[in-house]
Structure 1
């Protein structure tokens, strides 16, 4: 069975989620109060409807209670975001993901029933900042407030070395959980694995440890 999603708010963030879910063959109910947005997505989403998400009766009429996962991607209207989340929680929606504007907004959302809160602008800012530090830092993903995962292209200080020689875990407190080699992914690589040019290390650890790893083994490679 296809999972059913609803995306409320079709701005840049919500619109992107709607497109990707639809591309993956999911059933998507797209909701926005802007008629132009609905017209834009009527041929993308399974259903695209003009509605006020702060009106409980309207959401009930749309059958929102039958949706598996609702994404609240309302832009700058924090009050509407909060009220919509409260209504969804009261209606018994199993999974509610909400876009937060700031940390205070996140605290409120967590208290009123959001299952998952995202900060797309903040998170993207972190990813871009890490990628411009060095050409060898390909991606950066925050796992929690203190831990992240980073994709690092093997550079001069890594090529030709084995994992045991680099001793990344002991020296930096990070773990190499996988190595991408072209289309292949070597999960839990052996200690005697020799790194080659264009290998990509997937490293997980505390932010402070990853920062030391990047500065000492990655940044000066360029």
Structure 2
């Protein structure tokens, strides 16, 4: 279990906060608006009313003890930058920042934060990939153009072998595991037979994954 601090409890910030709570972590939520902070007082581990652009106020919160501090401030770029600079001055090591514009990203990148997030852009990419690869339920980029994808096996692929499903990819797509109800099968052979409603995890480039799409829709 880790402890996270989320600064800015707008739609993005509170969604991240509640999901972290759901995953078993503790979360301190910070917002300068009393009504917003009070709204989530029973759902988060702790809520704090604080002007995050004020370094003296942030100093009282021992933010350096958080595993990660996420600056989720929305459209107020000045407040986001002042908050990020204050966190750096306070010795916070892991700082993630939501950037709303290219200029925001450019300036934040100069401050040496751990990660810059573009939620709208990233969600737009995910939607585009979902439209382009309808057989994919979820996917994760692991760098160097590779993705791990989660595919729900449809009736058309019931009792098909892994070798048959992946034959068009000519070895470029790797089978990772199959989840079937409460069982997991990580050691897969080419003769393993898929069943309807299996969750099939694969690894490959999006172009290679697209090659096998006709056999999975």
Same fold (TM over 0.5): yes
Shifted more, 96-105 versus 76-85: the winner is 96-105
Q: 3-state SS of the aligned residue for 1:140? A: strand
Q: How does 1:159-170 map to 2 (within 5 A)?
A: 159-168=158-167, 170=169
Q: How does 1:97-176 map to 2 (within 5 A)?
A: 97-103=96-102, 105-133=104-132, 136-144=135-143, 146-155=145-154, 158-168=157-167, 170-171=169-170, 173-176=172-175
Shifted more, 2-11 versus 155-164: the winner is 155-164
The Cα shift of 1:6 comes to 0.9
Shifted more, 114-123 versus 29-38: the winner is 114-123
Q: What do you get for the CA RMSD once the two structures are aligned?
A: 2.6
Counterpart position of 2:25: 26
Instruction: Label 1:138 to 1:24 Cα distance change in 2 as closer, same or farther (>3 A).
Output: closer
Q: How does 1:37-76 map to 2 (within 5 A)?
A: 37-76=36-75
The Cα shift of 1:85 comes to 1.9
8 Å contact kept, 1:146–1:206:
yes
Unaligned runs of 5+ in 2: none
The Cα shift of 1:181 comes to 1.3
8 Å contact kept, 1:86–1:113:
no
- Partner Cα distance (2:204, 2:160) in 1: 21
8 Å contact kept, 2:165–2:215:
no
Matched positions, count: 217
- Partner Cα distance (2:3, 2:179) in 1: 33
Q: 3-state SS of the aligned residue for 1:201? A: strand
